[in-house]
Amino acid sequence: MTFSIHGLAVARGIAIGRAVLVASSRVDVAHYFIGAEEVESEIQRVRSARNAVAEEIHRLQQTIVAMGPKEAPHELSALLDVHLMLLQDEDLISGVKHWITERLYNAEWALTTQLEVLGRQFDEMEDEYLRGRKADLEQVADRVLRQLKGVPSPVAPPVGGRRKTQQDLLLDDATDVPLVLVAHDLSPADMLQFKQSVFAGFVTDVGGRNSHTAIVARSMDIPAVVGARSASQLVRQDDWVIIDGDAGVMIVDPSPIILAEYGFKQRQGELERGRLARLRHTPALTLDGQKIELLANIELPEDASAALLAGSVGVGLFRSEFLFMGRRGQLPGEEEQYLAYRKAVEGMQGLPVTIRTIDVGADKPLDDSRRDAAHLNPALGLRAIRWSLAEPQMFLTQLRAILRAAAHGKVRLLVPMLAHASEIRQTLSLIDFARAELDNRGVASGRVEVGAMIEIPAAALILPTFLKYFDFLSIGTNDLIQYTLAIDRADESVAHLYDPLHPAVLRLVADTIAAGTAAGKHVSVCGEMAGDVAFTRLLLGLGLRSFSMHPAQVLAVKQEVLRADTTRLAAWARQVVEAEDPSAVFTA
Ligand code: PEP
Ligand code: MG
């Protein structure tokens, strides 16, 4: 039966495919397709892993027997019997085989998929004892997964996404059906893992439109919906689903008529992309001849190629924190960071790269995929520059790496979340110190312009201080909105209050652009507002001449720029900012 689930629209477009449910704790399991000729060897991998686990359990049982009942209670042995039984469970074995043979999933993916299917059956059991066996099944599966790690697949995970059109659905090959990932929650680092993956779309139960998870999903340029509440419970493994990333809706088990309608919409979207692609080499000039700088936001050095391909003229925001995440405390050293920054700089082929110093905390934890539960208000806690200043050795390491990369191209250094003059002075002296350290070591470094993010209202209210110390400003509207309106950008329950057109937000943005421009300093916007075509004309009217956004947005924003006349927009933009209800004037 067809039904729809509503969430928040994150990334444009339509995806039609089968649902793949992934538990948040298992996102680091490899997901890739094997070739038809590898089916047998992949099944053999699972068999070998299972045999190894069975032996492991037998050995454990022998140890238990040797220990005697005092040290090793009888229950332990009985539990291992249950584990052995689950290991031989026919539903588990045949299910895993099914996913490998019919869908060409790699062994780990097949195992976790079947685990999810069986897990639901356990959840629905009346008997409490049997329901409790789900945990045992998971433990057994974890043992098999660990064994599989030691038995490498004969097939390497393919690089590159598998975005498929509706026409591909007509193909017989099972792996040509697009797959849509449905999960309760994904951290930004989890999402990044899926960047080069097989999925054609994403849905998560939690998250706001401008959470970092959503931002990474958007950068992947595939349809995504977040904040879909209980989607991961309502959808079953392998259900047919449609994701409408424009409307923020997921349709489950669509009827043929609905499928045809969305197939049409999908083709329209692709035609539009094709049309936009022709603008790649067109200079971004407004009708009245204003030159507009369109820059890219990137998360990894490899994203530089997408930035170039989109026709951006540089990187306006390299979110360096993604190099630090999911490493279980092993932060990258100076050399590793230097190579990563250098790769981005060289990848941009002489165009400027703005590297933002690490911004972890709040909804971007370094490790755990869940929020930083230790602090009640992580967004107001030790985040971004506050963390860097609290960890000066870590910060100096990063600064040295950035300064060294600057010897290979044009680098701008951007500092997040500053609010206090004392923080500014401390940051600048650490930059000087890092350079002196390199000089003392006789290591080459390059000149950098140093800029500040304006993303805390307090910063936007003391602009003269910022303009005194910095070469450029970059407005982080995502946080500026969050902190001005006191709403958590990652919390879907207050997503309706996240309003870029709130007069207070607009005033802070307008004042920053005006003050920066009057002081002759470069000002850009690198928050999601810059890549949203709904706001291009307004920002142009407010005098903004530099926009930084996901590569996927660059051409659509360029189209808006080409159609705009800034001489006409200025008066209207002023009216919008000064209105009691800007959205009324905005849409009039
Ligand atoms: C912002 O806050 O607008 C921004 C660009 O930084 P981030 O989204 O990484 O917090
Ligand atoms: Mg920010």
pLDDT digits (tens, 9 = 90+) for 507-545: 999 999 999 999 999 999 999 999 999 999 999 999 999
Q: Of all atoms in ligand 1, which is nearest to the CA of residue 478?
A: 3
**Rounded mean pLDDT of 398-426?**
98
Protein residue with its CA nearest to atom 8 in ligand 1:
478
pLDDT grade for 22, boundaries at 50, 70 and 90: confident
58 catalytically annotated: no
Verify whether ligand 1 is closer than 6 Å to residue 516 (CB atom). Answer: no
Write the pLDDT tens digit of every residue in 166-178: 334 444 455 578 8
Tokens of 281: 């080499």
Q: Which of 98, 212, 281, 408 is catalytic?
A: 212
User: What's the residue count for the chain?
Assistant: 588
pLDDT at residue number 28: 74
Which of 154, 157, 149, 134 is CA-nearest to residue 53? 149
Nearest-angstrom CA–CA distance, 94 and 103: 13
Q: What is the overall mean pLDDT for the chain?
A: 90
* Alpha carbon nearest to ligand 1 atom 10, residue: 479
Work out the pLDDT band at 70, boundaries 50, 70, 90. Answer: low
Which of the four pLDDT bands, split at 50, 70 and 90, describes residue 325? confident
pLDDT range class, residue 57, cuts 50, 70, 90: confident
Name the closest-CA residue to atom 3, ligand 1: 476
List the 249-252 sheet strands across, edge first. 3-6, 249-252, 240-244, 14-21, 179-183, 199-204, 224-226, 8-11
Catalytic site residue 212? yes
Predicted pLDDT of residue 482: 96
Q: For position 175, what pLDDT does the model report? A: 57
Q: What is the mean pLDDT of residues 91-95?
A: 93
CA 479 to ligand 1 centroid distance, Å? 6
Higher pLDDT, 344 or 377: 344
Does the structure show a pLDDT above 70 at 550? yes
Q: Which CA distances in Å does 456 have to 377, 415, 486, 527, 529?
A: 15, 12, 11, 13, 16
CB 479 less than 6 A from any atom of ligand 1: yes
At 198, the pLDDT band (50, 70, 90 cuts) reads: confident
Is residue 155 scored above 60 in pLDDT? no
Evaluate: CB of 477 within 6 angstroms of ligand 1.
yes
Domains of the chain: 3-22+156-256 (3.50.30.10), 36-149 (1.10.274.10), 293-586 (3.20.20.60)
Torsion of CA 219, 266, 311, 454, to 10 degrees: -40
Residue of 479, 483, 512 with the most ligand 1 atoms within 8 Å of its CB, for mutation: 479
